[in-house]
Amino acid sequence: MKVEGTVLLVIGVFMGAVCAIYWFLSNETSGTMMLLGATLLGFVPGAYYLWWSRRMKPRPEDNPSASRADGAGVVAAFPSTSVWPFVLGVGAALVGLALVFGLWTAPIGFVLGFAALLGVIRESRRGGAV
Amino acid sequence: MTIAARPALAPSPDLLEEEHGPTGMLKWLTSTDHKVIGKSYTITSLVFFCMAGLMAMVMRTQLTSPDNTLVSQHLYNELFTMHGSLMLYLFAGPFAFGGLANFIVPLQVGAPDMAFPRLNALSYWLYLGGGMIMVSGFLTVGGAADFGWVAYAPLSSATNTPGAGPDMWIVALLLTGFSAIFTGVNIVATVFYLRAPGLTMFRLPIFTWNMLVTAILILIAFPVLASAMIMLWCDRHLGTHIFTVSGGGSPVLWQNLFWFFGHPEVYILALPFFGIVTDVLATFSRKPVFGYKGMVFATISIAALSTSVWAHHMYTTGTELLPFFSLMTYMIAVPTGVKFFNWIGTMWRGSLTFETPMLYAVGFLVVFLFGGVTGILLASPPIDFAVHDTYFVVAHFHEVLFGSAVFGGFAGLYFWYPKFTGRMTREGLGKASFWVMFVGFWVTFVPQYILGLHGMPRRIAEYGAATGWQSLNQVSTAGAYLLFASVAITLINFWVSWRRPVPAGDNPWDAHTLEWATSSPPPHHNFYWIPPIRSERPVWDYNHPEHATPNGHAVPSPVPAAVGSLAAPGSSDGGAGGSGHVGGGTAQ
């Protein structure tokens, strides 16, 4: 987990330096704010990963000499099929179209989105005993 | 829900069960398998690619003769806008991170699926919905969006471009933008959390590294695009004046927001293809990647620098900090140069063979190099002032983007087509498509450089006969038809391989990385068995113990490596599968 965190942190440090130089040279607000956002995108998860990497159990994927037996067993539970992403996608498109053709498609889209939300939660509970 | 387990040593019988799910249309609608979604993404993006290519053919035909009236000026505006939008938003990006990466990254890290399979499916449906909405702008009364793929304010205001088409374009970009963000999150989580044991970050294939960095770039760039679209919609419909001078807003703010997304987007479209080319060159040179860590650091440097060069698209606005952006733009040439050096080093003294993917990869090197060199010219403000918004710029970015997304993309498509489908493509047709494309490419774009230097502006539907631009435009159009023919040959190739299948076997190219350790196409949850991972090319090490890659050091494969204990299969790791050859050559 150290390498992952470091990569993000390096990006954060670079963006922070560019942000400071850019603000100092240009006094331009929009670019500085976006560079600040990019800095935080590197720093926040990067710092979290580094903090967490000291507390977690060592992982076989971080160990260059790990054997395959070290990583054997359950990886995770994965949904095999689910119709709800499709329903949510259609709902999102209908909500989006409301921005073009008037509000009448939005309620249908929100109903589909809510149905998808409930469906995903039910699905996870039913099969998510792992 | 199914529980995915990772095999330990030998293929375990309880992993050999097949998926008992729906088939046909219902499978397409409900599958959360990254392979099904990856294929859907690939096919959908290729459909958009063909549509955008046909639009380009119409535009090139229009420009063949002066004062041509094949299409009206209004339709021409729609065509170049939608050509750019489809190619950039709906083809090049989704083809890379939705199609190829979705299919290949979990295989390359030895994972059963993407980290968030349902989010992955949602990404595809948002992308498909957004794409359909964008294209169906043509069906509205006022036609599709016609303000260029960059939608500069104030041209994109409700007064200058009224109608539903531009609004549908905005909504489409919101939907596809979120789709890209979700895919980015998915790729980062998959690479961080689902790697196989022993597969440390510095053993990841370069393609996966590049996709990881691309995903981080997506997370930096696409939220800016989404917020800019919302602001633009508010300006058009809610009476805000964010980008209009009359209400105290700033049109240049739009350019800042757009290019803060737009320039990283260029690298979001390029880095995945750099990764493809790296893997293809290493495979067909039968050598490890030369300068592996240099390659990774170059990728990260390119990504970091690419977020601080956005205003080099805006030199002529006169509001930007020219020395800063010019210097940063020049600096990108350094890591790109490192990559070129390493690509050549990878091929140097390798056992090269030139199958179709390798041809496309080498074609990419040549084409992208020329695109990059003209990019260095354009990074200089005095030159940019002279050629801004001319065909010189058009030729430059087509060399860069066509070079990466089409030459690099087709290298990946031909390379992984056996893994996608379990069938081989025909080498003859593949090579023919490459050579037609390579010749057509130069015939199309070299005249455009010259036209640009003669002052031909971009985005014009007609030019006068007195300009003297006709002959060069005719040459360019002829080249464009060649490009059309080459893509047609590739599609015929896929059709032939579909109708008369030649089984591919697991590892037809004798390739290096984990995706070639499983069957073609891979089973549900991908792996019955994984070779021991002791270097960045585990499948090669397993198949060629006499040429194994010593841990962390790349040597040319003809030199027998003195390793013995580390890389030889079965020594430190239980010897799973005996001395079998992973994959084998042909049909099994």
What is the rounded distance in angstroms from the CA atom of residue B133 to the CA atom of residue B168? 6
Q: Which residues of B touch A101 (CB under 8 A)?
A: 164
One domain for residues A12 and A55:
yes
Q: Is B423 helix (H, G, I), strand (E, B) or coil?
A: strand
CA distance A116 to chain B (A): 11
ipTM over 0.85: yes
Q: A68–B198: do the CB atoms touch at under 8 Å?
A: yes
For residue A70, CA distances in Å to A55, A94, B3, B496 come to 19, 47, 18, 45
Residue A101, domain member (yes or no): yes
Label residue B319 exposed, middle or buried (CB < 10 Å: 0-12, 13-18, 19+). middle
**What is the tally of structural domains in chain A?**
2
Q: B171–A1: do the CB atoms touch at under 8 Å?
A: no
Q: Cα B563 to the chain's mean position, in Å? A: 37
One domain for residues A6 and A42:
yes
Q: Which residues of A touch B194 (CB under 8 A)?
A: 75-76
Interface check for B310 against chain A (CB to CB < 8 A): the answer is yes
The domains found in chain B, sorted by start residue, are 36-499 (1.20.210.10), 518-588 (no CATH)
Interface check for B50 against chain A (CB to CB < 8 A): the answer is no
Q: B307–A38: do the CB atoms touch at under 8 Å?
A: yes
One domain for residues A24 and A52:
yes
In 10 A of CB B240, how many CB atoms? 15
- Which of A65, A99, A116 terminates a domain? The answer is A65
Residue A72, domain member (yes or no): no
Q: Which residue has the tokens 């841990």?
A: B551
CB of B509 within 8 A of CB of B284? Answer: yes
3 state SS for chain A: CHHHHHHHHHHHHHHHHHHHHHHHHHCCHHHHHHHHHHHHHHHHHHHHHHHHHCCCCCCHHHCCCCCHHHHCEEEEEECCECCHHHHHHHHHHHHHHHHHHCCCHHHHHHHHHHHHHHHHHHHHHHHCCC
Q: Which residues of B touch A28 (CB under 8 A)?
A: 256, 321
One domain for residues A16 and A54:
yes
Residue A99: half-sphere exposure toward Cβ, Cα within 13 Å: 26
Residue A73, domain member (yes or no): no
Which residue among B6, B257, B574 places its CB closest to the CB of A73? B6
Q: B133–A96: do the CB atoms touch at under 8 Å?
A: yes
In 10 A of CB B457, how many CB atoms? 14
B572 pLDDT above the threshold of 50: no
Beta strand extents in B425-578 (DSSP E only): none
B570 → chain A, closest CA residue? A67
* Signed CA dihedral, B416, B418, B421, B422: sign only: negative
Count how many pairs of residues, chain A against chain B, have C-beta atoms within 8 Å.
225
Q: B324–A35: do the CB atoms touch at under 8 Å?
A: no
One domain for residues A45 and A17:
yes
What is the rounded distance in angstroms from the CA atom of residue B588 to the CA atom of residue B575? 22
Q: Compute the residue count for chain A.
A: 130
3 state SS for B353-365: CCCHHHHHHHHHH
Looking at residue A96, its amino acid is: G
The lowest-confidence range among B17-31, B249-263, B430-444, B486-500 is B17-31
For residue B225, CA distances in Å to B89, B218, B262, B341 come to 11, 10, 8, 34
Interface check for B203 against chain A (CB to CB < 8 A): the answer is yes
**Preferred mutation among B36, B40, B102, B125 to probe A, highest tally of A CBs within 10 A:** B125
Interface check for B153 against chain A (CB to CB < 8 A): the answer is no
B7 pLDDT above the threshold of 70: no
B548 pLDDT above the threshold of 70: yes
Contact residues for B304 (Cβ-Cβ < 8 A; gap 6+): A10, A11, A14, A15
One domain for residues A57 and A106:
no
B19 pLDDT above the threshold of 60: no
- List the structure tokens of B570: 């079965």
**Preferred mutation among B23, B26, B167, B192 to probe A, highest tally of A CBs within 10 A:** B192
Residue A77, domain member (yes or no): no
CA distance A17 to chain B (A): 11
The pLDDT tens digits for A103-113 are 999 999 999 99
B576 pLDDT above the threshold of 50: no
Interface check for B121 against chain A (CB to CB < 8 A): the answer is yes
CA distance A117 to chain B (A): 12
B25 → chain A, closest CA residue? A83
Q: Which residues of A touch B4 (CB under 8 A)?
A: 74-78
- What residues form DSSP beta bridges with B31? A81
What proportions of chain B, in percent to the nearest 5, are helix, strand and coil? 65, 0, 35
Which residue among A25, A30, A62 places its CB closest to the CB of B324? A25
- Which of A14, A32, A65 terminates a domain? The answer is A65
A53 → chain B, closest CA residue? B192
Residue A74, domain member (yes or no): no
B17 pLDDT above the threshold of 60: no
Q: How confident is the model at residue B168 (pLDDT cuts 50, 70, 90)?
A: very high
What is the rounded distance in angstroms from the CA atom of residue B479 to the CA atom of residue B542? 45
Q: How confident is the model at residue B551 (pLDDT cuts 50, 70, 90)?
A: low
Q: Which residue has the tokens 């030729």?
A: B395
A15 → chain B, closest CA residue? B304
CB of B315 within 8 A of CB of B384? Answer: yes
What is the rounded distance in angstroms from the CA atom of residue A81 to the CA atom of residue B1? 8
**Preferred mutation among A32, A34, A83, A90 to probe B, highest tally of B CBs within 10 A:** A34
Residue A98, domain member (yes or no): yes
- List the structure tokens of B539: 């499948």
Interface check for B2 against chain A (CB to CB < 8 A): the answer is yes
B20 pLDDT above the threshold of 50: yes
B531 → chain A, closest CA residue? A68
| Angle of the A84-101 helix axis to the A105-127 helix axis, nearest 10 | 160
One domain for residues A47 and A96:
no
Higher pLDDT, B393 or B8: B393
Q: What is the pLDDT of residue B50?
A: 96
Interface check for B253 against chain A (CB to CB < 8 A): the answer is yes
Residue A109, domain member (yes or no): yes
Q: What is the pLDDT of residue A67?
A: 84
For residue B407, CA distances in Å to A7, B26, B302 come to 29, 34, 20
Q: B122–A76: do the CB atoms touch at under 8 Å?
A: no
- Which of A33, A65, A97 terminates a domain? The answer is A65
One domain for residues A7 and A61:
yes
Q: Cα B318 to the chain's mean position, in Å? A: 33
What is the rounded distance in angstroms from the CA atom of residue B259 to the CA atom of residue B490? 34
Q: Which residues of B touch A83 (CB under 8 A)?
A: 29-30
Q: Which residues of A touch B171 (CB under 8 A)?
A: 96-97, 99-100
What residues make up the domain containing A115? 84-127
Which residue among A26, A68, A88 places its CB closest to the CB of B122? A88
One domain for residues A50 and A105:
no
Q: What average pLDDT score do residues B160-174 get? A: 94
Q: What average pLDDT score do residues B171-191 get? A: 96
Residue A75, domain member (yes or no): no
Q: A85–B257: do the CB atoms touch at under 8 Å?
A: no
Looking at residue B157, its amino acid is: S
333-362 of B, contacting A, C-beta below 8 A: none
For residue B83, CA distances in Å to B58, B95, B238 come to 10, 16, 29
Q: What is the pLDDT of residue A69?
A: 83
Q: A123–B1: do the CB atoms touch at under 8 Å?
A: yes
One domain for residues A59 and A88:
no
The pLDDT tens digits for A60-119 are 889 888 888 888 878 877 887 889 999 999 999 999 999 999 899 999 999 999 999 999
CA distance B195 to chain A (A): 6
One domain for residues A54 and A101:
no
Which residue among A7, A85, A99 places its CB closest to the CB of B118? A85
The lowest-confidence range among B21-25, B126-130, B268-272, B563-567 is B563-567
CA distance A48 to chain B (A): 13
Q: How confident is the model at residue B547 (pLDDT cuts 50, 70, 90)?
A: confident
The pLDDT tens digits for B391-444 are 999 999 999 999 999 999 999 999 999 999 999 999 999 999 999 999 999 999
One domain for residues A61 and A20:
yes
